[in-house]
Each structure stands twice: as C-alpha cells, then as structure tokens.
Chain A
Amino acid sequence: MNLLRNKKGVDLLHSTIVFLLLNAMFFGIMFGVVYKAGTNSAFYEQLYSKQIALLIDNSKPGTILSINLNSIEKTLEKEKISPSEAFDIKDNNVIVKITKGGKGYSFPYSSNYNIEKSLDRNDKGELFLKISILKK
C-alpha cells in the first residue's frame, strides 16, 4: 500500500502491469497459433476437400464413396461441429470446415451429378462419410 502512495511506486506498478500484460498477450497469441497449426485443421480441410472432389469426378453414377473420418473426429468433437455440418457439397463445390469461425476449404468438381451424403459407423466404431453419386 505504501507503494501506491508514492508516485514512483505507482509508475513502477503500472510499468510492471503493462509488462506482464504484454507478456501474457504475446505468449497467448503464440500458443493459439501453434495449437491451431498443431491440430492440422487447415491441412485436413484441404485434404478432404480435394480428395472428395477428385473422387466425385472419378466416379460413375451409382457409386457410393465411403470416407473414413477418424483423423478429424476428435477435432470435430473439440470444436463442437457435427460431421454432417463439416462437409458441405453444393454448387459443384466441396466445402470442408472443421474449425468454428474458420472459412473452411472449398474445391470445385466438374461432374454434373446429384450428391447425397450421410454418416455411418462401422462395427469398430469408426465414423464414415458416405457419399452417393446419382445421375441428374
């Protein structure tokens, strides 16, 4: 308390608080950036989006694609995003978004098919995205 009565003491306290706040901010931002990069969410968004688009282009009507979502299931749970919400196939684009607030990754395909998607778990409990390719 004596420190606060003294002008020099108040200055010292202010500069220490500013210093600590800046430190906390810096390390907080660094932690956030490294954590986000560590989850590989951007990589998986791009991977799934391109993979699904190329698979659609390479398929004939009547094909059912089954894609294992094991590698991103935990990230989806953490981000509280449902798997059906994470994959959007519309206007000839495959959009994959596995982080809340992120833009997601979009990749176009060239085929003119009707696409239906559903989710399925196998006997081992692994989550699969099922994409049915139907003729328009």
Chain B
Amino acid sequence: MISLMIKEKRAEERILFSFMVAVWFLIGLGVMLGIYISYGDESDVKQLQAGILADKIAGCLIDNSKLIDDITKDEFDIIDKCNFNKEVITGSKFYSQVKFNYISEGKIGDEFRKPIIIGNKDALTQCSLRESNIPGTHYFRCIEKKYYAFSKDDKLVLIDIYMGANNEGGRF
C-alpha cells in the first residue's frame, strides 16, 4: 500500500511533509530542552537567607558582647526587637528557635531563659528529611548557628539559633 502511495507524487509529498514537521518538532524540542537545562534552574538561596536571619537575630539580641536587658522579660518580643515583618516571619516560610544556656566550666549548663520559637514547625521535619537524603526540592533548608554573649551578671551564655527558610520566589 505504502509503496503504491509513494509511486504517486502527491502522496510522496504528503509523507515528506509529515517527516519535515516531525523534524521541526524534534529540533524545536531539542532547542527548548537545551534552554531549559541552561537557564531554567532556580538558584536556591534558602540556606543563605536562613544564615542571614540567624545573624540578624543574634545581632539584635547582643549589644557589645552583652545580651540586651529586655531579653529576660516575659513580654520580650523578638519580632518587634529585630524589625521583622510579623506576617512573613510567623508565616509558613520561616522557622526560628532560639535557645539560651549558661556555659560553666566549658559545658552547657542551666537555661538562661525559656527558648523563643516562631514560625512554621514543619521545618524541623523537612530539614531532618533533607538530612536523611530523602528527595524533595521544596523542603525547608535549615542552619544552626551558635553565638556567645555575657549576661547582665557577667556569666557566659550560649545562644543557639536554629533557623529554617523555605522562601521561594517566582513569577506571579
């Protein structure tokens, strides 16, 4: 049947035309794929942002190597003190946990004050999944940073900041 069709000139043209469209499609697909691979990757700055925010928190809690006075107060508001936007920092994209412990004889001692926890607690699960190499690109990225400062009564305090970020930009 095909051999009969090919003998006819118009049928031959039709088959050639379909081949040409298929070749165009393949070339187009190849170019698009190349562009997507080269330019499509999002740069992941979640960990960078988590680090920046941890430094920012430490920066507003410590003044001249000393913990700020307000920190021992029960009504201490870290969001206000560190100039965070309440909606954003307590929303689904961030998590921060700040622990305070005395350091005595080089060891972690008693709690200086109760921990401050704000944001999305899913970060803890998602970051442990990431550490276990369970695949997932939209998980939080977390960072733990430790800072040291002196309390009002000149005792050394360890400030352990665990910060998670899952801030993804996009085209909306």
B169 interface contact, C-beta 8 A: yes
Residues of B within 8 A of A109 (CB): 88
**In the complex, are the beta carbons of A50 and B45 less than 8 A apart?**
yes
Bound form: Cα–Cα A14–B13 in Å = 13
CB distance from B98 to the nearest CB of A (A): 15
* The one of B17, B38, B83 that contacts A111, using a Cβ cutoff of 8 Å: B83
- B residues with a Cβ closer than 8 A to A are 13, 17, 21, 24, 27-28, 31-32, 35, 38-39, 42-43, 45, 48-49, 52-53, 55-56, 59, 83-89, 93-94, 167, 169-172
**In the complex, are the beta carbons of A37 and B35 less than 8 A apart?**
yes
Q: Mark out the residues of chain A between 77 and 118 whose CB falls within 8 Å of any chain B CB in the assembled complex.
A: 92, 102-113
Size range of the interface on A?
35 or more
Bound form: Cα–Cα A108–B84 in Å = 12
CB distance from A62 to the nearest CB of B (A): 12
CB distance from B59 to the nearest CB of A (A): 8
CB distance from B81 to the nearest CB of A (A): 11
CB distance from A17 to the nearest CB of B (A): 13
A-B contacts, 9 listed (Cβ < 8 Å): A22-B24, A29-B28, A40-B39, A46-B43, A50-B169, A54-B52, A106-B171, A109-B88, A111-B85
